[in-house]
Amino acid sequence: MEKAILEFIDTEVKSGQYFDSHTLIKYLIQKHTDLYLQGAGGKQRADTYHGQLAQKLSVLEKDGVLEKIGDKVSVSKNIKDKFSECALWRKK
């Protein structure tokens, strides 16, 4: 999964651009469906799994690749097509 996340950041996000966790999750569903479903398992809730995916971005923040902007400052549509808050990130 980490490789797919890095692929998203390397190919879809330019230096200085902002993106939110929902955008990453949608990318993983569209471009890496099997990997996404494998990680989702079947026993956990979607929001729990998505939170785990978003936490993987924190590792990249520690590595200096990303910067987290505030706490839950983005509002965008989730996979259920409902607006909800999520983390906002900037690629350095």
User: In 10 A of CB 23, how many CB atoms?
Assistant: 18
Full pLDDT tens readout for the chain, 92 residues: 999 999 999 999 999 999 999 999 999 999 999 998 888 876 678 888 888 888 889 889 889 999 999 876 899 999 889 999 999 999 99
Per the CB < 8 A criterion, the answer to whether 56 and 2 are in contact is: yes
Distance (Å, whole) CA 92 – CA 48: 27
Supply the pLDDT for residue 43: 67
Per the CB < 8 A criterion, the answer to whether 57 and 66 are in contact is: yes
pTM, to two decimals: 0.87
Per the CB < 8 A criterion, the answer to whether 53 and 89 are in contact is: no
